[in-house]
């Protein structure tokens, strides 16, 4: 009966980027990365954001994580409006909201040892760099304790994502934002990392925002989803509903374009991917 | 109808590490065959061996024959291979951003593909270029554009047009849509299939995405640890897999499952050259026993078979 | 087992030998390098004088040995000055906003456009010609190339996801510069340092040749070259010995730079 508190609220967010001038006479062209995005993520929810490249989902994430400034609009995290807060007032955000990035190759500093990478959020926030905590975290993500002594390039893509996850969990955040965490991974590794994320989110009672271009992955992981296209949210709803009966034409196109084993075995061909039909 | 591509006993090694062992495969005219595997499976190296583009210190052994080419492709010198590439065999790679010459207009690059192999005269080459663009549903004005003015999907379509320019008997695609958005991928996949159907070309399609291979191909070979572990028609392999790795792969990719957790294959893929002796999958297989230390024989035919001592589908004790 | 890096080994050996020669020269040289003995002018190489003597009767081998000190001194000071100023400048310009960054780079370009030797000569005229003033001048003239290279490297690092992750962890810009940017541009610094070292050695030789570098009687390979000019046809060995010494030193440092860069790149350690 009591309402679940809101973890993240985004109101009418706009982000414009000026581009260099192409002509002396006309004004500089502007890229509208976000054109008025609004959404609400409840505490403990698993919320997905789906969209193709250029839709603005990465920009949205960065603004929510205060790594970029909005042109207009509001971002409210756990009740605090962070939209115009200076860096020194964002400490609570840095402790409570952490990110896992997409590219296992470039999301870890190649010159740092794994234990320093994982401990970095702790060190930055003034907690003593505890070897104990690092070992705990390595165990939680399924890596051996001696992994801490090695360098990122000595690990596979899936293992690097685990290190990324361990780093994100170090300051004990309440909100985890994952930006395409499994897009660069093989199928069997993807399954392992998705399970890991799912388990950790359950165990630590985290709010999860999961961004992907792959609707099937989001469908498996998230309760609700927002579909983005060209800087706007075109549809929001419970994932199963959006997938089974997409309302917006873009969502319909997106859903039918995803090849699935199920449909292929039922006889779907490549031209069926282009039809705006109902998914099987 | 003879096979367009015949590969027998293909092995690829770098120094003393075996990367691909003993691969047999055939593709008939107009047939669409998929090669499925994850990183380290050797699928890309197999494709590169066929077209003769292996890196410096990597050696291939075995036999690769293509219908219409009089000589053995493995070990053929560069001069002979350059006459084959772009004409009898064409390839589309994964990365569209670096596949085109940034300093040449699209039209010139398309024309060049035809002029190299003298399939067209200079005059008709440019007209041919427009036709090719039509084929991949790009407007004629694209002739004058430079690669950087096109999106990834558009570039990949141009690359496809380049590949099909001389009506190759074999088209090899190595993860052609992995770097593309879903809606763009749908278009490019459709264009690939239509392109090979119209020319009755053979298609060898390499990917790690099971759904894509099921949608595009008729037959599929599953690779792991540098070996082909199972092969057969798409409908059968993906409903009644026999090899334990295929079984595990199918289970792991099943995102429709109602369970919160996905089924996984225990362990991780070993680094190149460190696969176990005997059955390459035995250190990750729940059903492995002592006999698996011996390399399993191929059970079945060329077009439907597997290499496993304890296959699925037999009453499990 | 890591494969032996030939550049590192060969470069290291060459540089090691030069350093050894310089150290040894402090305690022993076959003859006093500055001793003028008119009786022994222009002797050919022999058992008593392995490289012969010059027009003042000074032993050439001893001069080469003592001259190596100058060469090393030159390289270290010039590169040190260039790096100490250029690297922070490059990183700074990559991290500040548009206008300050442009300002720094244009000032950099100004310095780049200024001929290095001319700068050194001016310094020499103002502060008195000596090895030190020449080196500082060359160092300053080498700053722009460091700054540019480091700036582009720093910009690349700033765009990576691990820097984004550091910001998400709450790191401030300057700690990011020290903790993430600097370690990831060290390979660029090493390569640039070896190139600049080579240029500095050649510049010192040129300056000494012109009379603005190391003043006599301190031996310097460059000045040895200058003094050998009049004997180019009668006794070419007097030019060959210092010339070859300079060439080998430059080669050695270049190879060492390449080798160090590869050696310390953690990613290249266990390639296929």
For chain B, helix, strand, coil in percent to 5 are 35, 20, 45
* Lowest-confidence region among B184-198, B203-217, C98-112: C98-112
Q: Residue C10 domain-assigned?
A: yes
Residue pair A101/A179 in contact by the 8 Å Cβ criterion: yes
Handedness of CA C27, C31, C33, C36 (dihedral sign): positive
Contacts of residue A89, defined as CB under 8 A and 6 or more positions apart, other chains included, come to: none
CATH of the domain at C90: 1.10.3720.10
Burial of C242 by CB count in 10 Å (0-12 exposed, 13-18 middle, 19+ buried)?
buried
B124-136 pLDDT, tens digit per residue, is: 888 888 989 998 9
Contacts of residue B48, defined as CB under 8 A and 6 or more positions apart, other chains included, come to: B54
pLDDT at residue A266 above 70? Answer: yes
A182-224 pLDDT, tens digit per residue, is: 988 888 889 999 999 999 999 999 999 999 988 888 988 999 9
Dig out the tokens for A135 from the structure: 């070992």
Instruction: Give the Cα separation of C167 and B264 in Å (integer).
Output: 34
Residue pair C51/C61 in contact by the 8 Å Cβ criterion: yes
**Tell me, what's the pLDDT at C265?**
67
CA distance C267 to chain A (A): 6
Percentage of chain B lying above the pLDDT 70 cut:
98
Dig out the tokens for A160 from the structure: 């690097």
Contacts of residue B121, defined as CB under 8 A and 6 or more positions apart, other chains included, come to: none
Across the interface, whether the CB atoms of A52 and B183 are under 8 A apart is answered yes
Residue pair A117/A167 in contact by the 8 Å Cβ criterion: yes
Chain C interface, mutation test: which of A65, A89, A91, A109, most C Cβ atoms within 10 Å? A109
What 3-state DSSP class applies to C95?
helix
Which residues in chain C are contacts of B272 at CB distance < 8 A? 272
B42-54 pLDDT, tens digit per residue, is: 999 999 999 998 8
* Lowest-confidence region among A129-133, A249-253, C152-156: A129-133
Q: Say whether residue A230 is in contact with chain C using an 8 A CB cutoff.
A: no
Instruction: Give the Cα separation of C189 and C170 in Å (integer).
Output: 28
DSSP type of residue A153: G
Dig out the tokens for A126 from the structure: 């003034």
Q: Could you give the dihedral angle defined by the CA atoms of residues A137, A142, A148 and A154, in that order, rounded to the nearest 10 degrees?
A: -140
Nearest chain C Cα to B15, which residue? C272
Instruction: Give the residue from B234, C125, C124 showing the smallest Cα distance to A266.
Output: B234
How far is C-alpha A173 from the chain's CA centre? 15
pLDDT at residue C250 above 90? Answer: no
Percentage of chain A lying above the pLDDT 90 cut:
55
Residue pair C268/C2 in contact by the 8 Å Cβ criterion: no
Q: Residue C171 domain-assigned?
A: yes
Contacts of residue A110, defined as CB under 8 A and 6 or more positions apart, other chains included, come to: A151, A152, A153, C184, C266, C267
The residues facing B41 across adjacent strands are none
Q: Taking the CB of residue B22, how many other CB atoms lie within 10 A of it?
A: 17
Percentage of chain C lying above the pLDDT 90 cut:
20
Question: If you average pLDDT over every residue of chain C, what do you get?
Answer: 85
CA distance A217 to chain B (A): 7
Number of structural domains, chain C? 1
Question: If you average pLDDT over every residue of chain B, what do you get?
Answer: 89
Contacts of residue B86, defined as CB under 8 A and 6 or more positions apart, other chains included, come to: B113, B116, B117, B162, B163, B165, B166, B168
B156-187 burial, b if ≥16 CB within 10 A, otherwise e?
bbbbbbbbbbbebbbbbbbbbbebbbbbbbbb
Q: Residue C80 domain-assigned?
A: yes
CA distance to A21, A22, A29, A31, per residue, from A26 (Å): 8, 8, 8, 15
C-beta pairs of C40-49 under 8 Å, 24+ apart in sequence: C42/C231, C42/C235, C44/C237, C45/C237
Q: Residue C40 domain-assigned?
A: no
Q: Which of residues 169-188 of C touch A (CB under 8 A)?
A: 169-172, 175, 180, 183-184, 186
A vs C: CB pairs below 8 A: 71
A221-239 pLDDT, tens digit per residue, is: 999 999 999 999 999 999 9
Give backbone dihedrals phi and psi of C88, rounded to 5 degrees, phi first. Answer: -60, -35
Give backbone dihedrals phi and psi of A64, rounded to 5 degrees, phi first. Answer: -60, -35
Q: Residue C30 domain-assigned?
A: no
Q: Which residue of C161, C170, C175 is in closest CB contact with A103?
A: C161
The arithmetic mean of pLDDT across residues A44-49, rounded, is 94
pTM of the model: 0.83
The arithmetic mean of pLDDT across residues A75-83, rounded, is 91
Which residues in chain A are contacts of B193 at CB distance < 8 A? 269-270
Q: Which residue of B208, B260, B263 is in closest CB contact with A198?
A: B260
Instruction: Give the residue from C240, C211, A256, C64 showing the smallest Cα distance to B215.
Output: A256
CA distance A186 to chain C (A): 21
Instruction: Give the residue from B67, B71, B55, B76 showing the smallest Cα distance to B12.
Output: B55
Residue pair A11/A50 in contact by the 8 Å Cβ criterion: no
Per the structure, the complete domain to which residue C181 belongs is given by: 6-25+52-267
Q: What is the ipTM of this complex?
A: 0.83
CA distance C272 to chain B (A): 8
**Tell me, what's the pLDDT at B216?**
94
Instruction: Give the Cα separation of C139 and A5 in Å (integer).
Output: 62
pLDDT at residue C84 above 90? Answer: yes
Q: Tokens 């993430």 correspond to what residue?
A: C180
- The residue with greater pLDDT, B129 or C117, is B129
Instruction: Give the Cα separation of A61 and A260 in Å (integer).
Output: 28
How far is C-alpha B273 from the chain's CA centre? 21
**Tell me, what's the pLDDT at B181?**
87
Strand positions, DSSP E, B39-124: 58-66, 89-92
CA-based R_g, chain C, Å: 22
The arithmetic mean of pLDDT across residues B216-234, rounded, is 94
Instruction: Give the Cα separation of B196 and C168 in Å (integer).
Output: 48
pLDDT at residue C1 above 60? Answer: no
Dig out the tokens for C233 from the structure: 């046809």
Chain A interface, mutation test: which of C170, C171, C175, C183, most A Cβ atoms within 10 Å? C170
Phi-psi region of A126 (alpha: psi -120 to 50; beta: other; left: phi over 0): left
pLDDT range class, residue B154, cuts 50, 70, 90: very high
Name the pairing type of β-strands B219-224 and A72-77: unpaired
């Amino acid at each position: 009966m009591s309402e679940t508190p809101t973890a993240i609220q985004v109101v009418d967010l706009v982000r414009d980027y000026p581009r260099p001038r192409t002509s002396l006479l006309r004004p500089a062209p502007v890229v509208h990365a976000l054109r008025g995005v609004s959404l609400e993520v409840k505490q403990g929810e698993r919320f997905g954001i789906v969209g193709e490249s250029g839709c603005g989902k990465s920009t949205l994430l960065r603004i929510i994580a205060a790594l970029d400034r909005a042109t207009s609009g509001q971002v409210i995290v756990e009740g605090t409006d962070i939209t115009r807060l200076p860096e020194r007032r964002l400490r609570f955000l840095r402790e409570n909201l952490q990110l896992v990035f997409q590219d296992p190759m470039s999301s870890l500093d190649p010159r740092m040892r794994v234990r320093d990478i994982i401990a970095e959020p702790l060190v930055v926030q003034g907690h003593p760099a505890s070897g104990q905590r690092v070992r705990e975290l390595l165990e939680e993500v399924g890596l051996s304790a001696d992994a801490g002594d090695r360098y990122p390039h000595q690990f596979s893509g899936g293992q690097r994502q685990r290190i990324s996850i361990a780093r994100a969990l170090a300051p004990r955040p309440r909100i985890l934002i994952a930006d395409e965490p499994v897009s660069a991974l093989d199928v069997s590794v993807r399954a392992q990392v998705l399970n890991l994320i799912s388990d950790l989110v359950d165990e630590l009672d985290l709010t999860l925002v999961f961004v992907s271009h792959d609707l099937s992955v989001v469908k498996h992981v998230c309760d609700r989803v927002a579909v983005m296209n060209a800087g706007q949210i075109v549809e929001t709803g419970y994932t199963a509903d959006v997938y089974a009966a997409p309302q917006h034409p873009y969502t319909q196109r997106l859903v039918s374009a995803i090849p699935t084993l199920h449909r292929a075995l039922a006889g779907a061909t490549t031209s069926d991917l282009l039809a705006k039909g109902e998914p099987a | 109808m003879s096979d367009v591509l015949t590969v027998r006993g293909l092995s690829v090694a770098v120094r003393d590490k075996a990367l691909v062992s003993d691969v047999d495969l055939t593709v008939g005219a107009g047939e669409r065959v998929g090669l499925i595997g994850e990183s380290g499976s050797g699928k890309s190296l197999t494709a590169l061996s066929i077209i003769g583009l292996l890196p410096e210190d990597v050696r291939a052994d075995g036999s690769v024959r293509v219908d219409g080419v009089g000589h053995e492709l493995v070990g053929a010198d560069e001069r002979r291979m350059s006459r084959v590439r772009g004409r009898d065999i064409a390839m589309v790679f994964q990365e569209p951003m670096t596949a085109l010459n940034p300093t040449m207009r699209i039209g010139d690059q398309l024309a060049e593909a035809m002029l190299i192999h003298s399939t067209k005269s200079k005059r008709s080459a440019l007209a041919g270029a427009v036709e090719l663009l039509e084929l991949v549903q790009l407007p004629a004005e694209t002739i004058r554009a430079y690669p950087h003015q096109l999106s990834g999907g558009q570039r990949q379509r141009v690359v496809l047009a380049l590949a099909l320019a001389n009506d190759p008997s074999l088209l090899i695609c190595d993860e052609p849509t992995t770097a593309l958005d879903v809606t763009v991928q749908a278009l490019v996949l459709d264009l690939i299939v239509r392109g090979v159907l119209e020319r009755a070309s053979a298609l060898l399609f390499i990917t790690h995405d099971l759904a894509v291979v099921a949608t595009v191909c008729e037959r599929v070979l599953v690779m792991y640890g540098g070996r082909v572990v199972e092969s057969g028609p798409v409908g059968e392999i993906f409903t009644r897999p026999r090899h334990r790795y295929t079984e595990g792969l199918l289970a792991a990719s099943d995102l429709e499952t109602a369970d919160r957790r996905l089924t996984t294959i225990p362990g991780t893929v070993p680094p190149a050259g460190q696969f176990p002796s005997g059955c390459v999958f035995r250190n990750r297989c729940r059903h492995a026993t002592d006999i698996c230390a011996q390399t399993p024989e191929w059970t079945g035919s060329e077009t439907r078979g597997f290499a496993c001592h304890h296959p699925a589908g037999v009453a499990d004790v | 087992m890591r494969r032996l890096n030939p550049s590192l080994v060969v470069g290291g050996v060459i540089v090691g030998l030069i350093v050894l020669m310089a150290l040894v020269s402090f305690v022993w040289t076959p003859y006093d390098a500055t001793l003028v003995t008119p009786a022994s002018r222009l002797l050919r190489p022999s058992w008593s004088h392995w490289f012969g003597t010059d027009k003042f009767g000074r032993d050439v081998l001893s001069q080469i040995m003592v001259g190596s000190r100058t060469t090393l001194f030159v390289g270290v000071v010039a590169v040190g000055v260039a790096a100490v100023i250029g690297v922070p400048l490059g990183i700074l310009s990559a991290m500040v906003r548009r206008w300050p960054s442009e300002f720094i780079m244009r000032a950099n370009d100004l310095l780049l456009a200024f001929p290095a030797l001319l700068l050194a000569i001016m310094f020499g005229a103002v502060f008195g010609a000596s090895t030190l003033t020449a080196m500082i001048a060359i160092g300053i003239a080498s700053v722009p190339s460091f700054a540019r290279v480091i700036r582009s490297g720093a910009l690349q690092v700033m765009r990576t996801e691990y820097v984004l992750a550091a910001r998400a962890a709450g790191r401030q810009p300057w700690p990011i510069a020290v903790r993430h940017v600097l370690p990831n541009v060290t390979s660029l610094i090493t390569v640039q340092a070896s190139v600049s070292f080579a240029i500095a050695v050649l510049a010192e030789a040129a300056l000494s040749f012109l009379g603005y570098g190391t003043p006599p009687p301190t031996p310097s390979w460059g000045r040895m070259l200058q003094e050998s000019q009049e004997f180019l046809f009668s006794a070419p060995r007097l030019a060959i010995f210092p010339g070859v010494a300079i060439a080998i030193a430059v080669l050695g440092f270049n190879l060492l730079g390449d080798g160090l860069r590869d050696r310390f790149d953690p990613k290249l350690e266990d390639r296929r």
